[in-house]
Structure 1
Amino acid sequence: MTTTVSNPNKDLWEKGDFTRVAETMRNAGEALVSQLGVRPGTQVLDLGCGDGTTAVPAARLGADVVGVDIASNLVAAGNARAAAEELENLRFEEGDASHLDNLADDSFDLVVTVFGAMFAPRPYDVAKEMVRVTRPGGRIVMGNWIPGDPTLVAQILRIASSYSPPPPEGFVSPMTWGVEDEVVRRFAAAGIAAESVSCERREFRFESEGPSAEFLGLFRAYYGPTMNAYAAAEAAGRGDELDRELADLFASQNEGGPDRTSIGATFLLVTATK
């Protein structure tokens, strides 16, 4: 008899349908990729890739792209997008950023992970694996949300955690990937000198037709961390309280007017050179 062991991180990102949120991130993903110096033939790994918000535009620029995500539904959605666009230089496969067992050492010119690998457990293992699969002279580029930042996503995650059960013992918050000193320490442990790691703050913008209340509806219905927070809040009789707090947040940060949503979120752009 075979016993299947649940993977909480996999369960989280297979919950709902993150592609619905990702659709509001396409323009910002394309803009970021356009600044990475991707050329035809560049070997790119997109880690924690979702359905390809950064992998697809990299492949459109001619790079040979492998997208790896822990969620099987997002891998399937990514492969469907690649097929629809006839991008034969792009494939998606399932994998765990903490142990990239199917990927050889020194395979990629560029490893990119935008709000992806930061959510994997065992961050020191994640850093080690990213460095291992990067070629000498290659780059690792991360986009990570910043703890305590006043903009949208950091505040969503802060609010969600306040309505959720305490994390298990030994849990390391994914938001620590947004702390510059911690990022440097993790890459140093993986063999990257501090002077080869740079960090800067950038804005990622969410764009969606319809008012901010509809945009919040996407997070409530399809974004795993928010879905879990609503379930916990409703079980405690606090569902309406959580909904009001998030509705106020989304409305206060929306710059798109009453019938359109445009919300910026600050993130830490990390570049590490091997």
Structure 2
Amino acid sequence: MNPNKALWEQGDFTRIAATMRDSGRAFVATLDILPGQEILDLGCGDGTTALPAAECGANVLGVDIAGNLVAAGNARAAAAGLTRLRFQEGDASDLAGIADDRFDMVLSMFGAMFAPRPFDVAAEMVRVTRPGGRIVMGNWIPGDATLVAQVLRISAAYTPPPLEGFVSPVSWGVEINARDRFTAAGIKPDAITCEPTVWTFHHPGPPADLLDLFRRYYGPTMNAYTAAQLAGRADDLHRELLALFEQQNRGDADDTIVHATFLKVTARKDRA
């Protein structure tokens, strides 16, 4: 199986996504989506941003490599009566079957960044965007002091070294990398903007409960706990992560609110 597919199908990211719904809706509200626009949400999960985009009246296609998340997204769309929204499986590195110049916007919040071959990912996003359209990515920033970057850093320290040739997903959170990848795909340098932006996780329970969701349902953290258990270091990993979640909490002891900084990358494709 594709290792990226295996990573995201082993857990149930819908449980994490439930803590991100308000941020997804708020972020979509900043995008000025118009009724009738064609939008691709790439690495969409179960629709944290795809659903609110469809509620704006856009025609939205959600693509994710994890079959369980595609099924969950289609179920959410049906329950909400959103006939303009559908989900299908696909790989951000190779959007086979999707026509050139199809979408007014390609959106990817913490999704396409995890796909292998980042230059191929950028090229595919540019290919399927219509002239005059835009690409909007949200990417976690390596070394950032906020939650997700630190979860990924700590998890990586407890897992075996990656295979040769592996490119870290958080490399997308470095501005020069994002610029290089999109310019290589044909985007003009002055058509690319990058800005740090804040995402919020909200869980109606203590920080330990939010950590438990990450431990049980978030692929990178699941892998870290498995490796740490085999190495006899599971308690060390848990203590380190629990301290992080408690330190990052901006709510109270029974209502966890955690902010995480990401790099918002916008790339505009030239009109023909």
Q: Which aligned runs of 4 or more in structure 1 are off by greater than 4 angstroms?
A: none
CA deviation digits over 1:223-247, x for unaligned, max 9?
Answer: 0000000000000000000000000
TM-score by length of 1: 0.98
Q: Indicate the residue corresponding to 1:212 in structure 2.
A: 207
1:15 aligns with 2:10: yes
Q: Indicate the residue corresponding to 2:109 in structure 1.
A: 114
Would you say how many aligned residue pairs link Structure 1 and Structure 2?
269
Q: Indicate the residue corresponding to 2:135 in structure 1.
A: 140
* Alignment-mate amino acid for residue 96 of structure 2: D
SS in 2 for 1:109: strand
* Alignment-mate amino acid for residue 137 of structure 2: M
Pairing of 1:95-110 with structure 2 (within 5 A): 95-110=90-105
SS in 2 for 1:111: strand
Q: What is the CA distance between 1:72 and its match in structure 2?
A: 0.1
* Alignment-mate amino acid for residue 183 of structure 1: A
Question: What is the percentage of aligned positions where both structures have the same residue?
Answer: 66
Q: Indicate the residue corresponding to 2:262 in structure 1.
A: 267
* Alignment-mate amino acid for residue 193 of structure 2: S
* Alignment-mate amino acid for residue 35 of structure 2: P
Q: What is the CA distance between 1:102 and its match in structure 2?
A: 1.6
Q: Indicate the residue corresponding to 1:42 in structure 2.
A: 37
CA deviation digits over 1:38-64, x for unaligned, max 9?
Answer: 011010000000000000000011000
Q: Indicate the residue corresponding to 1:3 in structure 2.
A: none
Q: What is the CA distance between 1:220 and its match in structure 2?
A: 0.3
CA deviation digits over 1:97-153, x for unaligned, max 9?
Answer: 000002000000000000000000000000000000000000000000000000000
1:171 aligns with 2:160: no
Q: Distance in 2 between matches of 1:135 and 1:39?
A: 15
Unaligned runs of 5+ in 2: none
* Alignment-mate amino acid for residue 51 of structure 1: D
SS in 2 for 1:264: strand
1:242 aligns with 2:271: no
* Alignment-mate amino acid for residue 213 of structure 2: L
SS in 1 for 2:142: coil
RMSD: 0.4
Q: Distance in 2 between matches of 1:39 and 1:207?
A: 28
TM-score by length of 2: 0.99
